Structure 1
Amino acid sequence: MQAMAHTSRYKITGMDCASCAAKIETALKRIDGIGEVAVSVTNGTLTVGHGERFSVDKVERQVRGLGYGITEDGAASMHSERISTENAHGDAEWWRNRRTLLTVFCGLALASAFVAGRLFPAMEGPAFLAALAVGLLPVAFRAINAARFGTPFSIEMLMTIAAVGAVVIGAEEEAAAVVFLFLVGEALEGIAAARARRSIRGLASLVPKSAILEVDGSSWSVDAASLKVGNVVIVRPGDRVPADGVVVEGTSEIDEAPVTGESVAKAKTVGDDVFAGTINAIGVLRVRVTAAAEDNTIARVVKLVEEAQESKAPTQRFIDRFSSYYTPAVVLFAALVAVVPPLTAGEPWQEWIYKGLAVLLIGCPCALVISTPAAIAAGLSAGARRGLLIKGGAVLESMGRVTAVAFDKTGTLTEGRPRVTDVFAADGREHRLVSMVAALEQGSSHPLAVALVDHARAVQAPVPPAFAASAFPGEGVGGNVGGNEIFVGAPKAASRRANLSDSIVSQIAELNAQGKTVSVALVDGEVAGYVALRDEPRTDAKEALARLRDEGIRTIMLTGDNRTTAAAVAAGLGIEVRAEMMPEDKQKVIRELQAAGLVVAKVGDGINDAPALAAADIGIAMGGGTDVALETGDAAALHGRVVDVPDMIDLSRTTMFNIRQNITIALGLKAIFLVTTVIGVTGLWPAILADTGATVLVTANAMRLLRWRPR
C-alpha cells in the first residue's frame, strides 16, 4: 500500500462490536486518496492515513451513513491522558444515546399498535406496519449504506430482509416485535461496550485536576496537566499525588490501592518514588516531578493498553475469517430452506419462507464476532488496573500456554539492593557497633554504605559525626568516631590491620557460603565485630515460585552473579539456577529450553536481560512504572511483584476459558434454534431472541472478567 503523508484522527460513537469497525474500514477504504484505515472499537477512534487530496466531508458522510457519530479528534497533538478522558465520555449516557431513544420509541409504537389492534381490529395491520416502520427504517438505511460501501451481508441487511419477508407473508406483528427485540439487543450491546471502554480509561480520572506548586517558598494551585519535570509540588494528607515524582522532603504513607489494588499503604521518605493518582495518607510531602502529565505512569499505561486492545488475538483473527464465510453461507442456507421444500416436495410456500426468515435471523454472527474481542478487552483492562500490563490479545492468549519461566535474580527475584542480615559485636553492644559503622558510611552512595545507614535508622541507632574520614579503594573506609579510630572493610583488608580469631574467620566463611557480604569493623586496631549484608529475595518470591511449580511450570534463575551467592538465594527459594552468565549466555539458555519443546517466559529488568527477553516466547519486564518496564518486552509487572507472573498466567487462562464459554454459547444457541426452527417448533421471535440473547450473554460473560482478582 502506498505510504500516506498525513494522518487524521476522529472520535466515533455508536460502535459496539468488531463488525462495526469492519463496516467502517471497508467503507472508507473505497474512498480515493485514503490509504491505511484503523478503527478502534475499544477507544472509539478512527485513524485515517491519506494524501494531500483528501475530503473530510466524504469520510464523515460515509461514517454517518453507516449509523455512527463522528467528530474530528485532533488527537495527533494531544497527550494520552486527554485522549483517554475525552473518550471515556465520548458516548452519550445510555439513557440519552440515540440508539436507546430509538429503542424506546419503537417500543412505545409497538405497545400503541397492540392497544390499537385490540380496540380497533381493522387497524391492527396498519398499526403494526407503522410500529415496524419506526424501528426498521433507520436499520434499513444503515443496511443499504453498508451494502453500497462494501458490506452486503451486514446484520442490518439480514434484519431488513427478514422483516420485509415477514410482512410479505402477513406476519406484521411478528416483524415489528422482531425489530424491537433487535434494537433492544443493540442498545444492550452498546451499554456493555461503553462499560468496557470506560473500564481502563477510568484510571485517567485518578490523577487530580489541580496541584499545589511551590516556587521560592511560595505555593499556589495550578492545573496538574501543566506541571513540568523538575517542578516541586506539595502533597497534603488526603491529597492524590498529581504527578510521578520523587520525595524530596517529608515522610508519609502512600495508599496505592487505587492503582495497584494493594490494601496496605507503603511508607515513603526522601528519595522514594511516588506515582500519580496514589493517595497521601499521613504527612505532608514535597515531591519533585519526574514526568509530565502525558508521560506519567497512568497515562502511559492507558495508552499502551489501548494500543494492545487493537492487536487482534489469534482466536479473534480466526473468528473474523470464519465469519466472512459463515454469514454468506447462512444466507444461502436460509434461501434453500425457503425454496427447496416447496419446489421439490410441494410444501406450503408461506410456511417454509417463514422458516427461512427465522434461519436468517438465527444465523446473525454478532455473538460469535464479539465473543473474543470483548473477553480480550476485559482481560487486558482487568490486568492493567492491577499493574499487569499485557501488550495485546496475542500475548494474553500465549501467556496461558507457558510451561517454563526464566527469572533474572537481582531486582527481579530479589529486591535489587543489599540489606543488613546479621550483626555481631564482640562486646555484645550491637547498637553501638551499628552507630559507629553508619557514622563512617553516611554520605557515601555505595549500595553497601546506603544499606548500613538505612539499617541504623531502622533500628533507631544514633549516627554520630565522623572526622578525618577517608576511603581505601578496594578495602574499606576509615576515620575517627567519638574519639576512636574506626575501620570498616572487607575481611582480607581487616586481617591485614588486626588479628581475626579462628571463630570470626569461620563465621565469616559460613556467611559467605550463604551468599552474604561481610564488612568487619575495627576499633583502635581491635576487632569490634562485623556486619553481614545480602540482596534478599522479595517477600512474595517464594510464594510465586511455589504457585508456578504447582501449575507444572518449570522455574529457573539466570544470573550474572557468582555461583555461591546465586546458589544460596536459589536454595532458599527452591529454584533451579544458572550463575555467572553474560547476557548472551542467558539468551542461549532460552533457546535451549525452547528447543526442548517448552513455551518460555523470561522475566527481567529489561536492560541487561534484553537479548533473553527478545528470544523468549514472552518477555516480562519487572519495574515500578519505569520507562524500561513499560516499553520493553511483551508484558510488564508494573509494581515489581514476583507474584504478578503467576497472576498473569492465571488471568490468561481465565480469559481463554471465558472465550471458550462465549464461543460455546454463541454457536450452541444457534445450533439448537436452527434445528427447532427447521422442524417447526420455534419461529421468528425465538430466532431473534436466540441471536440477541446470545450476544447479550456473551458480552455479559466477558464483562465478568473486569471483576477478576489475583489470587
Structure 2
Amino acid sequence: MTKASVESRFRVDGMDCASCAAKINTAVRRLDGVDDVSVSVTAGTMTVRHQNDASFAPAIQKRVSGLGYRIAPISPKLATAAASEQQPDCGCCQPQHDSSAARREGAEAQGNSPVAAPAEEGLPGHGHVFTPQPWWKSGKGRLTIASGLALAAAYGVGKLVPGMESWIFTAAMLVGLVPIARRAVMTALAGTPFSIEMLMTIAAVGAVIIDASEEAAAVVVLFLIGELLEGVAAGKARASIQSLTALVPKTALLETDGKTKEVAADSLAIGSVILVRPGDRIPADGVILAGDSSIDESPVTGESTPVRKTVDEAVFAGTVNGEAALRVKVTATAEDNTIARVVKLVEEAQESKAPTERFIDRFSRYYTPGVVVVAALVAVLPPLLTGTAWGEWVYKGLAILLIGCPCALVISTPAAIAASLSAGARRGLLMKGGAVLENIGKVTAVALDKTGTLTEGKPKVTDVVGFGLPEPEVLRLAAALETGSSHPLAKAILAMAADDTIDVPPVEHAKAIGGKGVSGMIGGREVLLASPKAAGDRNALTQEQISTIAALNDEGKTVSVLLVDGAIAGAIAMRDEPRPDAQAGLKALADAGVKTVMLTGDNRRTAFAIGRQLDIEVRAELLPEDKQRIVGELKSKGHFVGKVGDGINDAPALAAADVGIAMGGGTDVALETADAAVLHGRVSDIAGMVALSRRTMSNIHQNIAIALGLKAVFLVTTVIGVTGLWPAILADTGATVLVTMNALRLLRA
C-alpha cells in the first residue's frame, strides 16, 4: 500500500551559492520515496515532500551531511527562532567537512557556531541554532587563511631552495586542494559530477602535471577568497528579512490572578492577557482589552506614521507601544504571529523559482558539460592537428575549465529575486515566489475593488449642515445619541466629535427606532437622528433642505437628519472616503503605463462619485461573477491583468487574474489568499510593487550580462594566449561576487 506523502522543512548551514543548492537538490532527489525537493539558497532552507515514513528525515539528513553541510529539521515551534539565524557560508567551498571535527568547523559557516538548545520532546535536534561569529573564525575562513599562509611560505622557501620550487608550491596547493577534491568526489557520488569542486580539482592537478604548480597554488587561494567573499555578500541578503524576527521581544508581562509576572514571549498561549508598557515592543499579536495609545507599526507595515489604536483593535508583535499602557489579549502563538508568518512566507517564496531562474537552471545543466567538452577540445585538437606544444594548449584548456564554471550565471537570478523579496517584505509588500515577482512587472491593467481597497472601508463624516442650529451643536447632539453604539455610522459621528474635542452631553431614554434612526432626551429636549425619509414623515423638509440633501446624495454620501423637539435642526453626511494616497497611487500606476479600473458591487451613484474624485474608470453594481468576467475581458484584449481586492468576496476575480493582490493589515486573508499582499493597504504600494518587479528584472538582465560577458572576454583572451589560470579563476569568482553585490543593491529599493 502506498504511503501518504508529507512535507518536511530543514535548515541547511553552509549553503550560500546556487551550485550548492543544485548539488543538495540532486542528492536528495535520488533517495527512493522523495517526491519533490525545493532548496532556497538565500533562506538557507530545504523543503522535501516524501513518503510518510519515520526513517526518511534521518536519511535525508545523512545524505545532506554527507555532502559536507550541517542540516537540522525546522520544527513549527522553533521555526521563528531558526529563521532569525544567519548561516552565510558557501558549503561548496568548505571542503574540510569530512572528519567529525571538520564538520563542526563547517557548521560554523561564515562564523556561525552550532549551539544546541534543548530538543523538543519527540523532535531531537530541533533546537539547533547558529550563533554569528566573525568570518575568520569560520571553517571556510580558517581554510582560506591557512591556504594563503601556505602560499606565502612557499614563495619564501622557494627563494631559498630554487630547485625545489615546484614541489614546495605543490605542497602549498594541497593545503587547500585536498579538502576541495574530497568534496568533489563526494558530490560526484551523489549525482553531480560536473561541480565547481571537480572543475577546480582537474584544473589544479593538470597545472601541476604541466609544471605550473606556482599558478595552481595561487589559483586555489584565489578560489577560496572569492567564495569567502561570495558567502559574506549572500549573508547580507539572507539577514535582511530574517532580522525582522529580532524585533519581537523575548519576554512578556503576563497577567494572572490580578498580578503580572515576566514570562518568555514564546510561551504565551492564545487567550492570555498581557500588559504592554509605554515604549515597549508588543510581544505577541493580539486585541486591545483596555487602553488607548499610538502604535509604531513601521517594523511590520513600513508605515512611518504611528497609528492610534484603542479597545477591540488589533496589534501586531514587534510593533512599539506609544504613550499609554495597554492590556492585550493574545490572538496568535509565537510561531504564528505576523512577523513569523511574514518570514515564513518570504522563505517559502524564495524557494519558489521564477521562470527565468528555471530557464537558467536548465541551461546550466547543459552548459557545464559543454564547457568541459570545449576545454578538452582546446587541449587536444591543436596539438594533434598542428603539431604545436601540448603544454601550451593543455594549459589553455585548464583555464577554460575555470572560466566556464556556472556559479555566477546560476546565482544571477535567485540573488536578485531574494534581495527584492526581502526589500519588499520590509516595506509590507509580500510576493509569494519568484514567479509572482517576475509577473507583477508585466502587468498592463489593474482592476481594483472599491471598499477597503481604494477606500478605507469605514465611513467618515464629510459634512455637518445646520438647518437651525450651529454645526457644532448638530454634531454634539448627534454624538450624544450615538454614544455606546457599534454601528459604523455611529462610530464615524463619535470619531468626528472626538477629533473636534466636543463635550458630548448625557442622553436619557435613548432608543433605536427600527429602520428609521435613534432618539432620546438631551437636556430636556427630544432629539431624533433619522434618515431623510423618516425625518420628512415627522416634519416636512423645505425645498432648500431637500436640494441640499440631494446634492450630498449625488456625491455618494449617506445623510442623516437631526430633529430637535420635532423641528429640522441639521444634517450629517457620511461616506467611505478614498484612502489618503489613492489618487497618488493611481497616478503612479498610470505613469507606469498601467490601465486602472474600479470593480465594485456598490451602487452606481456612490461608485461614480468616488470614481470622479479619483479619476478612474468605474464598473459598479457587480456580482462576484461579473468581476471575474470583466477580468477575462481585459485579458482577451491582450492585457496582463492584476486584480486587487480583500481576498474573500473578490476570490473569483483574484483567481482569474494573472496576478492577485490582497489589501490588508497583516491578517490571514491578506497573507494567504492571493499571490501577493500589501500589508498596510496603501494604493501607492501597488505601483511600488510593479516598480520593484521591473527593477528586479533589469537587475537580473545586468547580472546575466556580467556573468556571460566576463566569461566570453576571458575565453577569447585565453585562447589567443593573453590570459592564463589566474585571470580565469578571477573571471569566475570575481563575476560571482559582482553579480551578488549588484543584486544586493535591490535591498535598498
Q: Which TM-score band (shorter chain)?
A: over 0.9
| 8 Å CA contact 1:400, 1:652 repeated in 2 | yes
- Pairwise mapping of residues 657-672 of structure 1 onto structure 2 (< 5 A)? 657-672=698-713
**Corresponding position of 2:488:** 447
Q: 1:257 Cα deviation (Å)?
A: 2.4
Q: 1:189 Cα deviation (Å)?
A: 1.7
| 8 Å CA contact 2:86, 2:132 repeated in 1 | no
- Deviations along 1:154-196, whole A, 9 cap, x unmatched? 1111111110110010000000011111111111122222222
Q: 1:264 Cα deviation (Å)?
A: 2.3
The answer for unaligned runs of 5 or more in structure 1 is none
| 8 Å CA contact 1:312, 1:394 repeated in 2 | yes
Matched, 1:148 2:189: yes
| 8 Å CA contact 1:4, 1:35 repeated in 2 | no
Q: 1:40 Cα deviation (Å)?
A: 3.1
**Corresponding position of 2:285:** 244
Equivalent of residue 684 in structure 1, options 725, 732, 737 = 725
- Pairwise mapping of residues 54-73 of structure 1 onto structure 2 (< 5 A)? 54=55, 59-70=60-71, 72-73=72-73
Equivalent of residue 382 in structure 1, options 423, 428, 440 = 423
- Alignment TM-score, normalising by the size of structure 2: 0.91
- Deviations along 1:626-668, whole A, 9 cap, x unmatched? 1110111100001111111001001101111110110000000
Number of equivalenced pairs: 706
Q: 1:33 Cα deviation (Å)?
A: 5.2
Q: 1:410 Cα deviation (Å)?
A: 0.5
Equivalent of residue 327 in structure 1, options 347, 351, 368 = 368
Q: 1:534 Cα deviation (Å)?
A: 0.5
Query: Per the alignment, in what secondary structure is the counterpart of residue 457 of structure 2?
Result: coil
Matched, 1:362 2:363: no
Amino acid at match of 1:66: L
Residue 396 to residue 9, structure 1, CA distance change in 2 (3 Å)? closer
- Return the alpha-carbon distance in structure 1 between the equivalents of residues 335 and 186 of structure 2: 39
Q: 1:198 Cα deviation (Å)?
A: 2.0
- Deviations along 1:187-243, whole A, 9 cap, x unmatched? 112222222222211111110001111234311111111122222221112210111
Residue 543 to residue 35, structure 1, CA distance change in 2 (3 Å)? closer
**Corresponding position of 1:256:** 297
Equivalent of residue 676 in structure 2, options 628, 632, 635 = 635
**Corresponding position of 2:122:** none
**Corresponding position of 1:17:** 17
**Corresponding position of 1:277:** 318
| 8 Å CA contact 1:2, 1:35 repeated in 2 | no
Amino acid at match of 1:153: F
- Return the alpha-carbon distance in structure 1 between the equivalents of residues 36 and 716 of structure 2: 42
Q: 1:83 Cα deviation (Å)?
A: 3.3
- Return the alpha-carbon distance in structure 2 between the equivalents of residues 274 and 378 of structure 1: 28
- Return the alpha-carbon distance in structure 1 between the equivalents of residues 151 and 132 of structure 2: 25
| 8 Å CA contact 2:303, 2:680 repeated in 1 | no
**Corresponding position of 2:391:** 350
- Return the alpha-carbon distance in structure 1 between the equivalents of residues 10 and 206 of structure 2: 38
Residue 84 to residue 61, structure 1, CA distance change in 2 (3 Å)? closer
- Return the alpha-carbon distance in structure 1 between the equivalents of residues 336 and 194 of structure 2: 43
- Pairwise mapping of residues 43-58 of structure 1 onto structure 2 (< 5 A)? 43-48=43-48, 49-50=50-51, 52=53, 54=55
- Deviations along 1:245-282, whole A, 9 cap, x unmatched? 22222222222223333332222222332211011232
**Corresponding position of 2:112:** none
| 8 Å CA contact 1:293, 1:299 repeated in 2 | yes
| 8 Å CA contact 2:42, 2:415 repeated in 1 | no
**Corresponding position of 2:537:** 496
**Corresponding position of 2:107:** none
Q: 1:149 Cα deviation (Å)?
A: 1.6
- Return the alpha-carbon distance in structure 1 between the equivalents of residues 131 and 253 of structure 2: 33
Residue 103 to residue 271, structure 1, CA distance change in 2 (3 Å)? same
- Return the alpha-carbon distance in structure 2 between the equivalents of residues 356 and 307 of structure 1: 41
- Return the alpha-carbon distance in structure 2 between the equivalents of residues 428 and 31 of structure 1: 82
Query: Per the alignment, in what secondary structure is the counterpart of residue 418 of structure 1?
Result: strand
**Corresponding position of 1:675:** 716
- Return the alpha-carbon distance in structure 2 between the equivalents of residues 494 and 79 of structure 1: 61
- Deviations along 1:295-335, whole A, 9 cap, x unmatched? 21111111111111111000000000000011111100011
Amino acid at match of 1:185: G
**Corresponding position of 1:82:** 81
- Return the alpha-carbon distance in structure 2 between the equivalents of residues 635 and 44 of structure 1: 22
| 8 Å CA contact 1:316, 1:373 repeated in 2 | yes
Query: Per the alignment, in what secondary structure is the counterpart of residue 137 of structure 2?
Result: coil
Matched, 1:41 2:41: yes
- Return the alpha-carbon distance in structure 2 between the equivalents of residues 136 and 395 of structure 1: 41
**Corresponding position of 1:604:** 645
Residue 109 to residue 405, structure 1, CA distance change in 2 (3 Å)? same
Amino acid at match of 1:84: A
Query: Per the alignment, in what secondary structure is the counterpart of residue 415 of structure 1?
Result: strand
Query: Per the alignment, in what secondary structure is the counterpart of residue 327 of structure 1?
Result: helix
- Pairwise mapping of residues 348-427 of structure 1 onto structure 2 (< 5 A)? 348-427=389-468
- Return the alpha-carbon distance in structure 2 between the equivalents of residues 33 and 607 of structure 1: 37
Matched, 1:567 2:608: yes
Worse-superposed segment, 96-105 or 615-624: 96-105
Amino acid at match of 1:158: L
| 8 Å CA contact 2:517, 2:528 repeated in 1 | yes
Residue 604 to residue 61, structure 1, CA distance change in 2 (3 Å)? closer
- Return the alpha-carbon distance in structure 2 between the equivalents of residues 559 and 408 of structure 1: 6
Amino acid at match of 1:641: R
| 8 Å CA contact 1:80, 1:300 repeated in 2 | no
| 8 Å CA contact 1:40, 1:46 repeated in 2 | yes
Matched, 1:305 2:346: yes
- Return the alpha-carbon distance in structure 2 between the equivalents of residues 56 and 480 of structure 1: 72
- Return the alpha-carbon distance in structure 1 between the equivalents of residues 150 and 51 of structure 2: 44
Q: 1:27 Cα deviation (Å)?
A: 2.0
Amino acid at match of 2:720: I
RMSD, aligned CA: 1.8
Q: 1:465 Cα deviation (Å)?
A: 2.1
| 8 Å CA contact 2:85, 2:242 repeated in 1 | no
- Return the alpha-carbon distance in structure 2 between the equivalents of residues 347 and 424 of structure 1: 99
- Deviations along 1:580-612, whole A, 9 cap, x unmatched? 011111111000000000011000011111111
- Return the alpha-carbon distance in structure 1 between the equivalents of residues 145 and 160 of structure 2: 23
**Corresponding position of 2:498:** 457
- Return the alpha-carbon distance in structure 2 between the equivalents of residues 262 and 478 of structure 1: 40
- Return the alpha-carbon distance in structure 1 between the equivalents of residues 504 and 424 of structure 2: 44
Worse-superposed segment, 697-706 or 116-125: 116-125
- Return the alpha-carbon distance in structure 1 between the equivalents of residues 5 and 438 of structure 2: 35
Q: 1:50 Cα deviation (Å)?
A: 4.3
- Deviations along 1:5-31, whole A, 9 cap, x unmatched? 566554321111222122122223334
Worse-superposed segment, 249-258 or 548-557: 249-258
- Return the alpha-carbon distance in structure 2 between the equivalents of residues 294 and 198 of structure 1: 19
Identical positions, percent: 63
Matched, 1:189 2:225: no
Amino acid at match of 1:453: L
Worse-superposed segment, 34-43 or 165-174: 34-43
Amino acid at match of 1:582: L
Query: Per the alignment, in what secondary structure is the counterpart of residue 130 of structure 2?
Result: coil
Q: 1:87 Cα deviation (Å)?
A: 5.9
Residue 10 to residue 552, structure 1, CA distance change in 2 (3 Å)? closer
- Return the alpha-carbon distance in structure 2 between the equivalents of residues 167 and 222 of structure 1: 63
| 8 Å CA contact 1:11, 1:90 repeated in 2 | no
| 8 Å CA contact 1:363, 1:670 repeated in 2 | yes
| 8 Å CA contact 1:80, 1:302 repeated in 2 | no
- Return the alpha-carbon distance in structure 2 between the equivalents of residues 12 and 228 of structure 1: 30
| 8 Å CA contact 2:662, 2:673 repeated in 1 | yes
- Deviations along 1:509-540, whole A, 9 cap, x unmatched? 10101011110000001000000101000000
| 8 Å CA contact 1:513, 1:565 repeated in 2 | yes
Amino acid at match of 2:43: N
Q: 1:680 Cα deviation (Å)?
A: 0.7
